[in-house]
Amino acid sequence: MQSVAPFQEIINTEIHRRLALPQFQEPKGLYAPCEYILKNGGKRVRASLVLMAAKMFCHDYHKALPVALAFETFHNFTLIHDDIMDNADVRRGQPTVHVKWNTNTAILSGDAVMIMAYSFFEDAKDFVPSLFSLLNKTALEVCEGQQYDIDLELADLHEPWVTEDVYLTMIKLKTSVLIAACLKAGAIIGGANSYDAELLYQFGINVGIAFQLQDDLLDTYGNYETFGKKIGGDIAVNKKTYLVIKTLELLDSKSKQEFCSLYSSSYSYQDKYEKVLSIFDSLNIKQITQQKVDSYFKQAQECLELLHIDTALKTNLYEFMNDLQNRAY
C-alpha cells in the first residue's frame, strides 16, 4: 500500500524503541508475546492515518507519533483477542499468539498490549483529555461491533433480525470507528478545527465500511494472487457476509429455505462454492455489492472535498482511498 509507505519506517522504528524500554522486559512470559504481535508485520495503516491527518494541518506531524503508536498498539490488542475468539491459527503468515504460546498467556498479554496503548498516550500531554475520550469511546464501540459479529455468526440465517442494517452497523463498529478515530486524533493534534476533524472522522467511517464490503466481495470474486487469501473461504465456513444477507433479502420464501440449507451444508469446498456462486450470479449480487462499495467511497471522497485546506494537502488520503479502491478482483 503505497500511501502508507512513507510513514511505516517511522512507526516501526518507534515501536522497536518502545519495546526495548526496561519496563517492557520482565517477565518474558508476558512481554515476549506483546513484542511478537507488535513486531510481526502489518501495514501500520492506522498509525499512518494518524500521521497523515496531522500532516494535513501542521508541519511537525511527528508530535502525533505517540498517539499513532497508541492506536496501532490498541489495534494489535484487538487482533490477539479476535484470534482467540475465532480460533484462528495464522495471523500475517505466522502462528497466532494463542497458538504459539497458549490461550491464557494470549489473554493476559493482550490485556498488557491494551494497557501499553494507553500508556503511550501519556506523551501527548497537551491533548490527553480529548484523545482519551475518543479512544475510550472507540474501544467500547469496537467491543460492541465484536459482539454483533458473534451474535450474527450464532444466529440462524432465517432469523428476521439478520438484516443489511445490522450487518452494516457491525462492520462500522468493528472496523470503521477505529480508522475514523485515528484520523480525527491526527487532525486534533495537527490543530484542525472541529468541523474538519469531524469530516475526517466521517471519511474514515465511509472508507472503513467500503473496505469491509469490498473484502466480502473479494473473498468470493477475488484473485488469490492479489487478494492473498483462499477464495471462497467465507462460503466454506458459512460466514454471514453482505453478499449472503443481500441474497436472503432478494429470495422468495421457498428459495430462501433452499439457500439456507445449502449454505449451512457440508458439501465439499468446490461444490458448495460453485452452487452458492451460481445463486449470487443469478441475483446480480456482485454488482449490487459493488454499487454499495462505490457509494461509500463516494461519500468518503465528498468528505475530503469539503475540508477547508488546500487540495495538495489532501493528496495522501486520496492516494490511500485509491489504494483501497484498486484492490483487484
**Structural domains of the chain in order of their starting residue, each with its CATH number:** 5-323 (1.10.600.10)
pLDDT (average), residues 257-269? 91
Whether the predicted pLDDT of 34 surpasses 70: yes
Grid coordinates standing for 98? 494463542
The SS3 of residue 90 is strand
What pLDDT is stored for residue 227 in this prediction? 60
Tens of pLDDT along 38-91?
A: 998 789 999 999 999 999 999 999 999 999 999 999 999 999 999 999 888 989
The four Cα atoms 267, 269, 274, 278 give a dihedral, to 10 degrees, of 70
pLDDT value at 12 more than 90: yes
95: which strand partners?
Answer: 90
pLDDT at residue 260, as a whole number:
93
Task: Kindly report the pTM of this predicted structure.
Answer: 0.94
In this predicted model, what pLDDT tens digit does every residue of 163-203 receive, in sequence order? 999 999 999 999 999 999 999 999 999 999 999 999 999 99
pLDDT at 1: 79
Give the pLDDT of residue 286: 97
Which cell numbers in the block locate residue 227?
A: 487478494
Distance CA(128)–CA(191), nearest Å, equals: 14
pLDDT in tens, 128-167: 778 889 999 999 999 999 999 999 999 998 888 999 999 9
Looking at residue 269, its pLDDT comes to 86
Q: For position 228, what pLDDT does the model report?
A: 59
C-beta pairs of 156-161 under 8 Å, 24+ apart in sequence = 156/260, 157/240, 157/244, 157/248, 157/259, 157/260, 157/263, 157/264, 158/248, 158/256, 158/257, 158/260
- pLDDT number for residue 41: 73
Per-residue model confidence (pLDDT) at position 123: 82
Q: Among the listed ranges 22-31, 92-101, 123-132, which one has the minimum average pLDDT value? A: 123-132
pLDDT given for residue 163 in this prediction: 95
Considering only CA atoms, which of 273, 207, 260 is closest in space to residue 234? 273
| pLDDT classification of 266: cutoffs 50, 70, 90 | confident
Instruction: Count other C-beta atoms under 10 Å from residue 56's C-beta.
Output: 26
Give the whole-angstrom CA distance, residue 61 versus residue 83: 33
DSSP-derived pairing of the beta strands 90-91 and 94-95: antiparallel
pLDDT score recorded for residue 327: 81
In this predicted model, what pLDDT tens digit does every residue of 218-260 receive, in sequence order? 999 987 666 656 788 899 989 999 999 999 999 999 999 999 9
pLDDT band, residue 287 (cuts 50/70/90): very high
